[in-house]
């Protein structure tokens, strides 16, 4: 065939003019230069975290099914194809897809697991029956960054393409593909005569090679000149490249649909776009539908013209049956099936715009925009779709409930909610709008609002870091104060409009006393407090006004998340991150984003602060959490409310997660909500639903516990076992000692009591006491 093509080209050159010879040379150069590498501009694809499965993992069947839904897995008893699962009671079998992770490619396999009481109890490989220590489902693609021409393309190789697709495609579009030279003169002549008789275009004579030339090189112009160029280029293409190379390029280039501004090119992309599944998972009727789109993707669009698309699909199935590609009985059954097209998501770019915006900002520090749009990068992120779904649900349901209960006009309130891990600082969920799929202003990243009392832990940490002057039972002054600021006298007030006189430091934070906090902050010094805020992770510039001590400073929610992550991690700041690894289109690692940790505060003062923030959630301004969270889920946190009840904040953490919630109005009018009545409820709605560990802080070596009279700021005498165990930094200042309250343990000399100086001693004494009781 190559020799025939060469003779035909020589004939054309000999018979044609010098102009034609020059044109053929020009077209030949264009063919070889562009087709040689077949290097398309490929979008970068962002993936969420892979769901890790292992025995003992906290996972509900409901969450696993939600993961299946997002990944496009289908329930099937036979599980013949990847992307299917079967459930019988607590037993779940999964036929997992192959996937190329950052650490290597994993083949598809079938696994079986058992889930009871919200935990995985067994996990085995069904091929050999052996236990699996750890298995990862493939991650969800959460977004793509498309080339400037907005072409979306997922490359496939001919050897990996389902043979039935190739056979149906060739049968429908070009049955003589492997036998012609790129053009079929007789077919062109027949089509020309048919079109002349009909007075319009009713028949095409293009080969598959000509269709590729038309898509790859030429415009959609209809003219004799373009048709001649198309034929010449088809001949040149067939001369330079093999049939398989041409067919593979066609499979990846053919236009098969439109999603807003995004053009769907190639069968790999179309499979995901229409069915939410990989090409090798499609059934014969689904493959036939895709082949039918090659004739006219807009005309046969199954979402806009389902009847027309089904008629085309059924015709192709009948032709496949007649050609022996499908059994006749199977054809009849397949024609009865619905189209099975997935619902198109509202945003053609991503359904998670707030998180993707954050990820793109991190990427732009290391990659050019043109590389993100054209190099086909694989970007693995920290995003957790299950956490995100629960965060979105908490925002939407809680705001609707608040508006209903308080008779606020529907959709008046706005909110943001962000979640990250304590130890790694991995951002797992970002809600930047009450309607989270709506791209636009991202409140989580770009909103700057006064933060109220959630600033106070930084002030108290600053004080506790000076253990020679302050401890949790130090007495503060909560009496009226007037401070000259910017030429005016500023007289801060407590929320309850009363003053409490001398108050214990711990109680001042637990009950969020404004005046005592201001007096403490002024004693510490504004510069020192601002330095503490910046070390904890606040990135915004802070003006030296005394009112900053009550949160009169505009800060973003993401900065607050960083601050509380540092506190939750024991004073070790881990910069928040969304990106873990970046791969090129060939699977080679371009960059890893390792964990970085910096000590921002000493562990002992942070432990004392955390102990107090736990008390905030038990008896303080966040005490309502007792009714909103499971009893075993211990947490720490702080409420925040700004002037005129404009902003409602809550920031807090469990043993493994940190979250920040804000509720307010975009017009900055009053919401009538405190931190406890607004944002706290949003925060609790998330933490109540996710798998998270209770907060049980490990005391540093230099922490001692003493039984204390918290209300009066004193320690009980050595022989007492009364009051509350309070942590103190060893070597620091201690409160005065007060006598025991009746009954006096001195009446029982057979049970001498010593003051516990650490939690371990306390537990040991408790065990000894129990042993005495049961002896």
Q: How far is 472 from 710, CA to CA, in rounded Å?
A: 9
SS3 707: strand
Question: Under a CB-based contact definition with an 8 Å cutoff, are residues 228 and 236 in contact?
Answer: no
Helix axes 208-216, 243-253, angle to 10 degrees: 50
> How far is C-alpha 210 from the chain's CA centre?
43
Active-site residue flag, 698: no
Active-site residue flag, 559: no
Nearest 10 degrees: Cα torsion 235, 240, 245, 248? -40
Look at strands 449-450 and 714-716 and give their pairing: unpaired
Q: Give all strands (DSSP E) within 642-747, no chain letters.
A: 648-653, 657-664, 703-709, 714-716, 724-729, 737-738
HEC per residue, 618-645: HHCCCHHHHHCCCCCCCCEEEEEECHHH
Question: Under a CB-based contact definition with an 8 Å cutoff, are residues 641 and 452 in contact?
Answer: yes
Q: List beta partners, residue 432.
A: none
Core vs surface per residue 691-725: b (16+ CB within 10 A) or e: ebeebebebbebbbbbbbbbeebbbbbeebbebee
Look at strands 449-450 and 119-125 and give their pairing: unpaired
Segment (H or E) for 268: helix 267-275
Residue 153 DSSP one-character state: E
User: Which two structure tokens, joined as six digits, stand for 632?
Assistant: 């075993």
User: Which two structure tokens, joined as six digits, stand for 154?
Assistant: 């997922």
User: Which two structure tokens, joined as six digits, stand for 523?
Assistant: 């004693």
> How far is C-alpha 449 from the chain's CA centre?
24
Other beta carbons within 10 angstroms of residue 250's beta carbon come to 24
Residue 58 DSSP one-character state: B
User: Which two structure tokens, joined as six digits, stand for 671?
Assistant: 């919401």
Cis peptide before 398 (omega within 30 of 0): no
Q: How far is 379 from 42, CA to CA, in rounded Å?
A: 13
Core vs surface per residue 520-544: b (16+ CB within 10 A) or e: bbeebebebbbebbbbbbbeeebee
Contacts (Cβ under 8 Å, ≥6 apart) of 564: 457, 651, 652, 653, 658, 660
| Annotated catalytic residue, options 138, 173, 230, 238 | 173
Residue owning tokens 């098969």: 256
Residue 448 DSSP one-character state: -
Look at strands 414-421 and 427-431 and give their pairing: antiparallel
Closest CA to 103 of 160, 46, 50: 50
Q: How far is 583 from 598, CA to CA, in rounded Å?
A: 27
> How far is C-alpha 505 from the chain's CA centre?
39
Segment (H or E) for 592: strand 589-592
Rounded to a whole number of angstroms, the CA Rg of the chain reads 34
Environment class of 9 (CB within 10 Å of its CB; exposed 0-12, middle 13-18, buried 19+): middle
Question: Under a CB-based contact definition with an 8 Å cutoff, are residues 566 and 461 in contact?
Answer: no
| Annotated catalytic residue, options 206, 374, 421, 453 | 453
Residue 295 DSSP one-character state: T
Question: Under a CB-based contact definition with an 8 Å cutoff, are residues 177 and 243 in contact?
Answer: yes
Contacts (Cβ under 8 Å, ≥6 apart) of 136: 50, 51, 52, 53, 101, 106
Helix, strand, coil percentages (3-state) for the chain, rounded to 5, are 40, 20, 40
Active site residues: 173, 453
């Amino acid at each position: 065939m190559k020799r025939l093509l060469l003779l035909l080209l020589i004939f054309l050159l000999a018979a044609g003019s010098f102009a034609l010879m020059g044109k053929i040379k020009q077209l030949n150069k264009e063919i070889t230069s562009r087709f040689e590498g077949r290097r398309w501009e490929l979008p970068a694809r962002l993936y969420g975290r892979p769901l890790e499965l292992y025995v003992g993992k906290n996972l509900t069947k409901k969450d696993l099914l939600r993961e299946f839904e997002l990944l496009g897995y289908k329930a099937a008893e036979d599980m013949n194809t990847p992307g299917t699962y079967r459930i019988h009671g607590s037993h779940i079998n999964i036929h997992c897809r192959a996937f190329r992770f950052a650490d290597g490619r994993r083949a598809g396999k079938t696994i079986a697991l058992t889930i009871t009481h919200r935990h995985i109890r067994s996990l085995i490989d069904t091929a050999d029956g052996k236990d699996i220590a750890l298995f990862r489902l493939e991650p969800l693609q959460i977004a793509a960054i498309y080339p400037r021409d907005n072409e979306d393309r997922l490359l496939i190789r001919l050897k990996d393409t389902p043979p039935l697709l190739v056979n149906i495609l060739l049968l429908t579009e070009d049955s003589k593909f492997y036998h012609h030279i790129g053009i079929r003169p007789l077919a062109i002549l027949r089509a020309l005569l048919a079109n002349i008789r009909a007075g319009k275009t009713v028949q095409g004579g293009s080969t598959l090679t000509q269709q590729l030339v038309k898509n790859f090189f030429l415009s959609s112009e209809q003219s004799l000149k373009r048709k001649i160029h198309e034929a010449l280029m088809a001949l040149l293409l067939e001369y330079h490249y093999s049939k398989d190379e041409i067919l593979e390029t066609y499979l990846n280039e053919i236009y098969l649909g439109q999603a807003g501004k995004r053009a769907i090119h190639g069968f790999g992309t179309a499979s995901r776009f229409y069915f939410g599944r990989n090409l090798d998972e499609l059934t014969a009727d689904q493959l036939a539908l895709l082949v039918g789109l090659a004739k006219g993707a807009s005309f046969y669009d199954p979402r806009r013209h389902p009847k027309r698309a089904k008629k085309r699909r059924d015709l192709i199935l009948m032709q496949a049956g007649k050609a022996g590609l499908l059994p006749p009985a199977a054809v009849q059954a397949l024609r009865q099936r619905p189209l099975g097209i997935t619902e198109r998501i509202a945003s053609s770019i991503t359904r998670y715009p707030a998180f993707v915006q954050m990820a793109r900002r991190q990427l732009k520090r290391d990659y050019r925009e043109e590389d993100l749009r054209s190099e086909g990068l694989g970007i693995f992120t920290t995003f957790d779709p299950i956490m995100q779904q629960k965060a979105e649900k908490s925002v939407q349901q809680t705001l609707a409930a608040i508006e209903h209960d308080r008779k606020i006009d529907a959709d008046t309130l706005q909110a943001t909610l962000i979640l990250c891990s304590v130890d790694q600082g991995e951002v797992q969920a970002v809600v930047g709008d009450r309607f989270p799929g709506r791209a636009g202003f991202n409140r989580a990243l770009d909103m700057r609002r006064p933060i109220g009392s959630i600033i106070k832990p930084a002030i108290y940490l600053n004080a506790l870091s000076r253990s020679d002057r302050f401890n949790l039972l130090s007495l503060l002054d909560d009496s009226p104060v007037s401070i000259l600021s910017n030429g005016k006298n500023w007289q801060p007030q407590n929320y309850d409009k009363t003053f409490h006189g001398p108050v214990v430091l711990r109680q001042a934070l637990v009950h969020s006393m404004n005046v005592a906090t201001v007096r403490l902050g002024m004693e510490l010094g504004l510069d020192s407090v601002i330095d503490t805020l910046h070390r904890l992770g606040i990135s915004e510039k802070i003006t030296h006004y005394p009112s900053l001590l009550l949160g009169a400073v505009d800060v973003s929610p993401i900065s607050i998340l960083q601050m509380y992550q540092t506190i939750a991690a024991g004073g070790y700041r881990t910069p928040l991150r969304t990106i873990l690894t970046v791969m090129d289109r060939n699977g080679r690692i371009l960059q890893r984003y390792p964990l970085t940790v910096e000590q921002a505060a000493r562990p002992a003062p942070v432990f004392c602060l955390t102990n107090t923030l736990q008390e905030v959630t038990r008896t303080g301004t966040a005490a309502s959490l007792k009714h909103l969270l499971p009893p075993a889920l211990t947490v720490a946190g702080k409420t925040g409310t700004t002037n005129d009840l404009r902003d409602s904040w809550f920031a807090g953490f469990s043993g493994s997660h940190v979250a920040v919630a804000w509720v307010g109005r975009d017009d900055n009018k009053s919401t009538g909500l405190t931190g406890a009545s607004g944002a706290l409820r949003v925060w609790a709605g998330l933490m109540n639903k996710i798998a998270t560990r209770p907060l049980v802080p490990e005391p540093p070596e230099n922490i001692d516990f003493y039984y204390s009279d918290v209300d009066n700021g004193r320690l009980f005498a050595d022989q007492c076992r009364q009051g509350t165990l309070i942590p103190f930094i060893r070597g620091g200042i201690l409160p005065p000692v007060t006598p025991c309250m009746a009954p006096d343990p001195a009446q029982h000399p057979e049970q001498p009591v010593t003051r516990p100086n650490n939690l371990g001693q306390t537990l040991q004494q408790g065990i000894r006491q129990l042993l005495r009781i049961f002896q």
